[in-house]
Amino acid sequence: MFNFKLIKEDKASKARLGEITTNHGKIETPIFMPVGTQATVKAMSSRELEEINAQIILGNTYHLYLRPGDDLIARAGGLHKFMNWQRPILTDSGGFQVFSLAKLREIKEEGVYFRSHLDGSKQFISPEKSMQIQKNLGSDIVMAFDECPPYPASRDYVDKSLQRTLRWAERCQAEMEGIENQALFGIIQGGIYPELRKQSVEEMLKFDFPGYSIGGLSVGEPKEEMYKMLDYTTPLMAKNKPRYLMGVGTPEDLVEGIYHGIDMFDCVMPTRIARHGQIFTAVGRKTIRNAVYAEDFSPLDPECDCHVCQNYSRAYVRHLLKRNEILGVRLTTYHNLYFMLNFAQQIRQALAAGKFIDFRDEFYQNYQLK
């Protein structure tokens, strides 16, 4: 089963409050989804993810297809059981990684030929294959196999790519026919060309997918371009379907995405910067590895009520990071994910109280942007 309930629309913006229901539980939107590329959200255990109230996590089709193999995961009982995570999972289509990680790729109408970035082995993923992999993984939300064109790309290239992505969407839908426990999301492309975005939305709407994502943003274009595209695209989209902005983002991206009507976000950034010793705080990012924190016995974020901030100091975390101790990365990762999940929750509360614009104003007053 899959259901999206639109609970409330903000009066002063395009922001929405909603709720998704899946076989593995409910997801409150707007939501931030931690990324678990290789069947693990890096450095976190599944019960820690539950503790910080992660409601849904991502899995990566490309990575899991190569290692350990989706057939192995199917024999393990699916991705939920394999990684000991009983809440919802969204899997991407593998498309983005094929285009960003794989080598010697060749895009044909039937699919993409490429070589594995791990061992150079010849591989092929088609729309059908991507669906078969995701069926093996057993994710609750399945993404259509698309091409995500690079930035910059010519209008002509983006157009041709978009048409193929539409044809691929049809093949994905056909391959998923009869599957009831996995919801297939369509992906809207079109680069930074408004008329292509419009065409993509209109054509995608015809498929009546249970949800849609906006792809091809946050791929190197200026932030203002991204927000302009969102501002243009979301009003064209169905109101009664969840909208997912792929690969985004930062706290400020969440505020702006939600402002423009986005319901779902994912990004590796909170976990990646954690591994480099950077943390989120209520007043902006801080590089906790820096010498200035060597004798700072205050919490990572004095305003945070997470387990790490209640029990550990900046000085201790810095010591661990400097000594390459695993616990250092565990603590920064835990805090950063808690920060993002708690941030989304605060936004949901502000939306419920009809105070999202106040929240947004306050955020920009307190949070120092990089």
Q: For residues 133 and 226, which CB has a smaller minimum distance to a second copy in the complex?
A: 133
Size of the site for a second copy (CB under 8 A): 34
State yes or no: is 119 an active-site residue.
no
Q: Starting at the edge strand that comes first in sequence, how are the strands of the sheet with 183-188 ordered?
A: 31-33, 264-266, 243-245, 211-214, 183-188, 141-143, 89-91, 57-59, 35-36
Is 335 flagged in the annotation as binding?
Answer: yes
Residues 283-322 within binding reach of a second copy (CB under 8 A): 294-295, 297, 311-313, 315-316, 319-320, 322
Q: For residues 275 and 355, which CB has a smaller minimum distance to a second copy in the complex?
A: 275
State yes or no: is 253 an active-site residue.
no
Q: For residues 325 and 361, which CB has a smaller minimum distance to a second copy in the complex?
A: 325
Only one residue has tokens 């105070």, namely 355
| CA-atom Rg of the chain in angstroms | 20
Going by C-beta distance under 8 Å and a sequence separation of 6 or more, which residues neighbour residue 46?
83, 84, 85
Cα distance between residue 107 and residue 125, in whole Å: 10
Is 189 flagged in the annotation as binding?
Answer: yes
Amino acid, single-letter form, for residue 320? L
Question: Taking CB under 8 A as the rule, does residue 358 contact a second copy?
Answer: no
Q: Which of 3, 5, 25, 84 binds a second copy (CB under 8 A)?
A: 84
Is 267 flagged in the annotation as binding?
Answer: no
Q: Which of 4, 32, 65, 82 binds a second copy (CB under 8 A)?
A: 82
Question: Taking CB under 8 A as the rule, does residue 46 contact a second copy?
Answer: yes
**Least distance in angstroms from the C-beta of 41 to a second copy:** 8
CB atoms within 10 A of CB 284: 13
Question: Taking CB under 8 A as the rule, does residue 282 contact a second copy?
Answer: no
Question: Taking CB under 8 A as the rule, does residue 327 contact a second copy?
Answer: yes
Cα distance between residue 273 and residue 315, in whole Å: 18
Question: Taking CB under 8 A as the rule, does residue 13 contact a second copy?
Answer: no
Only one residue has tokens 């614009």, namely 357
Give me the torsion for CA of 305, 55, 83, 311, rounded to 10°. 0
Residues 149-208 within binding reach of a second copy (CB under 8 A): none
Say which of 10, 70, 159, 266 is annotated catalytic: 266
Going by C-beta distance under 8 Å and a sequence separation of 6 or more, which residues neighbour residue 153?
161, 191
Q: Starting at the edge strand that comes first in sequence, how are the strands of the sheet with 122-125 ordered?
A: 103-108, 111-115, 122-125
**Least distance in angstroms from the C-beta of 82 to a second copy:** 6
Amino acid, single-letter form, for residue 337? L
Question: Taking CB under 8 A as the rule, does residue 44 contact a second copy?
Answer: yes
Question: Taking CB under 8 A as the rule, does residue 80 contact a second copy?
Answer: no
Query: Binding residues for a second copy, per CB under 8 A?
Result: 38-40, 42-46, 67-68, 72, 75-77, 82-84, 294-295, 297, 311-313, 315-316, 319-320, 322-323, 325-327, 329-330
> What are the catalytic residues?
92, 266
